[in-house]
């Protein structure tokens, strides 16, 4: 099973040595030059920079990069250089990572359930001042963990109360786990106001939100929470969820999202100096990576490839996500056909049903590029069953799809796209 040649037949040295000499044009050039036995992650630095510039220039507020979507240090450095100054981190390991790679960055610890020691280290060692919470216990924990040695409370905290909102308009729900219900929010907002220098309200509409209406609806809930609690709010954080483009999922342009968020946020009863934040993960990095894999075996319409559910294809396996694919062997000219993929590990769960459309005569030895894997793809790799190593190589061509190229047209095909005034 899996690849037959011993590991090391493509040594790190060879790959990195050639990296110094070449920037490969595209996946075909990499496959042609290296004929890799292992999957290869392809980086597209320009695509990441373009996405970051788009958010920095067009989002009507501050954009925090949600690090969990792809914590690659190279990507973090690109985003920083493109103007992303704030980073949404969710674990102490992410705090340490971003602090090490970007010493000047502002870190916001936006996981609503943290350990006391993680809060204390973030505050005292890494200069984190912004935390999210969705319960009184978490508020108490933050206050205790950030107090001085003599017990005096911190006076420089920005605390964001996470509100539960609907995930109905998103492909991946984030509604069940975190967030306080609107009905219970007022006492928590008031208690948080007492101890916070800046009070924020945050939410997450779910990942890959297919319509801007998701944010309008969530911001209506924010309005109700503010009115109920009668508190002064300094930060409104609309979270992540900004979509990318995948087969069968073509969202409206991001500027539509920005326009409705701007309009809805402007009409909230918040202080004049309040700030609008967002926390894009997927939208900033989906286009950054694709994956080069090889077909090791074919059985009917099933292709056994050398990466899978425990590698970069977690969402393809577990959520049935379809990613764009391209056969790199130009001699394969037969009509397109639909295939499913098996990954390299020994269990049946390592299966991606697709369908993935590839030439009907594709076979063992052919290389396939799988696109749009920069978000929750490259970051999800495990070493299960001895697989999971992959070199990363820069390429120069365009990602398989892009919202940022300037020629992206609004499909308006989906029923759930609400037309805007
Ligand atoms: C995962 C996450 C994000 C990023 O979500 P995307 O859908 O990738 O944009 C932002 N904020 C929080 C709190 C998250 O958990």
pLDDT digits (tens, 9 = 90+) for 227-256: 999 999 999 999 999 999 999 999 999 999
Give yes or no for a cis peptide into 355 (omega within 30° of 0).
yes
Torsion of CA 168, 171, 172, 176, to 10 degrees: 10
For residue 87, list its beta bridge partners.
Answer: 65, 107
Query: 3-state class of 399 per DSSP?
Result: coil
Phi and psi dihedrals of 182, rounded to 5? -50, -40
**CATH 2.40.37.10, the chain: domain bounds:** 10-45+286-395
Query: 3-state class of 420 per DSSP?
Result: coil
Compute the C-alpha angle 208/106/238, nearest 5°. 30
| pLDDT at residue 410, rounded to an integer | 55
Q: According to CATH, what is the number of the domain 111-278?
A: 3.20.20.10
Q: Alpha-carbon distance 373 to 314, whole Å?
A: 10
User: Atom of ligand 1 at shortest distance to CA of 375?
Assistant: 8
Q: Is the CB of 207 under 6 A from ligand 1?
A: yes
- The pick from 48, 68, 179 for probing ligand 1's pocket by mutation, whose C-beta has the most ligand atoms within 8 angstroms, reads 68
How many angstroms does the Cα of residue 89 sit away from the middle of ligand 1?
Answer: 10
Q: Which residues of the chain register pLDDT less than 50?
A: 1-21, 412-421
Q: Is the CB of 66 under 6 A from ligand 1?
A: yes
Question: Among 1.10.569.10, 2.40.37.10, 3.40.630.20, 3.90.550.10, what is the CATH number of 10-45+286-395?
Answer: 2.40.37.10
Phi and psi dihedrals of 340, rounded to 5? -110, 160
Q: Alpha-carbon distance 160 to 146, whole Å?
A: 15
User: Atom of ligand 1 at shortest distance to CA of 241?
Assistant: 7
Residue 86: CB atoms within 10 Å: 15
Q: Is the CB of 282 under 6 A from ligand 1?
A: yes
How many angstroms does the Cα of residue 240 sit away from the middle of ligand 1?
Answer: 4
Q: In 134-277, which ranges are continuous DSSP H helix?
A: 136-145, 182-195, 213-229, 254-266
According to DSSP, the β-strands at 130-133 and 158-162 are parallel
How many angstroms does the Cα of residue 398 sit away from the middle of ligand 1?
Answer: 25
Taking alpha carbons only, the member of 3, 70, 84 closest to residue 37 is 3
Q: List, for residues 375-421, the tens digit of each pLDDT value.
A: 999 888 888 888 777 789 999 999 999 999 865 555 544 444 444 43
| pLDDT at residue 417, rounded to an integer | 41
Among all chains, which residue has been given the structure tokens 């954080």?
237
Residue 199 gets the label, from left (phi > 0), alpha (psi -120 to 50) or beta, of: beta
User: Atom of ligand 1 at shortest distance to CA of 283?
Assistant: 9
How many angstroms does the Cα of residue 187 sit away from the middle of ligand 1?
Answer: 26
**CATH 3.20.20.10, the chain: domain bounds:** 111-278
Among all chains, which residue has been given the structure tokens 């020691």?
117
| pLDDT at residue 327, rounded to an integer | 95
Q: Alpha-carbon distance 105 to 79, whole Å?
A: 11
User: Atom of ligand 1 at shortest distance to CA of 209?
Assistant: 7
| pLDDT at residue 268, rounded to an integer | 96
Taking alpha carbons only, the member of 374, 395, 283 closest to residue 50 is 283
How many angstroms does the Cα of residue 148 sit away from the middle of ligand 1?
Answer: 31
Q: Is the CB of 2 under 6 A from ligand 1?
A: no
All residues at 6 or more sequence positions from 150 whose CB lies less than 8 Å from its CB, including other chains: none
Whole-Å CA distances, 38 to 13, 26, 41, 165, 374:
14, 17, 10, 42, 18
Q: Alpha-carbon distance 261 to 251, whole Å?
A: 16
Query: 3-state class of 340 per DSSP?
Result: strand
How many angstroms does the Cα of residue 136 sit away from the middle of ligand 1?
Answer: 23
Q: Alpha-carbon distance 1 to 4, whole Å?
A: 7
């Amino acid at each position: 099973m899996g690849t037959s040649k011993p590991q090391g037949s493509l040594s790190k040295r060879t790959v990195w040595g050639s990296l110094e000499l070449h920037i490969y044009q595209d996946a075909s050039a990499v496959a042609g030059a290296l004929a890799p036995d292992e999957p290869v992650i392809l980086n597209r630095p320009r695509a990441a920079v373009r996405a970051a510039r788009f958010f920095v220039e067009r989002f009507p507020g501050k954009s925090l990069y949600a690090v969990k979507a792809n914590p690659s240090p190279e990507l973090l450095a690109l985003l920083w250089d493109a103007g992303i100054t704030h980073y949404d981190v969710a674990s102490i390991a992410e705090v340490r990572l971003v602090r090490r790679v970007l010493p000047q960055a502002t870190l916001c610890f936006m996981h609503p359930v943290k350990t006391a020691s993680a809060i204390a280290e973030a505050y005292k060692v890494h200069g984190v001042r912004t935390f999210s919470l969705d319960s009184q216990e978490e508020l108490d924990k933050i206050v205790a963990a950030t107090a001085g040695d003599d017990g005096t409370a911190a006076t420089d905290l920005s605390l964001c109360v996470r509100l539960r909102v609907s995930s109905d308009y998103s492909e991946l729900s984030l509604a069940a786990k975190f967030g306080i219900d609107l009905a219970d929010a007022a006492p928590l907002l008031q208690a948080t106001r007492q101890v916070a220098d800046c009070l924020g309200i945050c939410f997450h509409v779910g990942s890959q939100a297919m319509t801007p209406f998701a944010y309008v609806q969530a911001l209506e809930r924010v309005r109700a929470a503010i009115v109920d609690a009668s508190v002064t709010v300094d930060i409104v954080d609309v979270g992540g969820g900004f979509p990318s483009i995948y087969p069968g999922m073509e969202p409206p342009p991001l500027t539509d999202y920005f326009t409705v968020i701007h309009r809805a946020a402007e009409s909230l009863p918040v202080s004049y100096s309040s700030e609008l934040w967002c926390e894009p993960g997927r939208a900033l990095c989906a286009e950054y990576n694709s994956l080069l894999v090889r077909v090791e075996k074919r059985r009917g319409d099933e292709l056994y490839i050398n990466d899978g559910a425990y590698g970069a294809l977690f969402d393809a396996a577990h959520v049935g996500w379809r990613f764009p694919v391209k056969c790199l062997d130009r001699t394969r000219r037969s009509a397109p056909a639909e295939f499913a993929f098996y990954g390299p590990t020994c269990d049946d769960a390592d299966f991606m049903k697709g369908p993935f459309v590839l030439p009907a005569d594709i076979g063992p030895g052919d290389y396939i590029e799988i696109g749009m894997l920069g978000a929750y793809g490259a970051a999800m790799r495990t070493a299960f069953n001895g697989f999971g190593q992959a070199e990363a190589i820069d390429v120069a061509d365009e990602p398989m799809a892009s919202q940022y190229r300037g020629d992206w047209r609004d499909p308006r095909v989906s029923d759930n796209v609400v037309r805007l005034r």
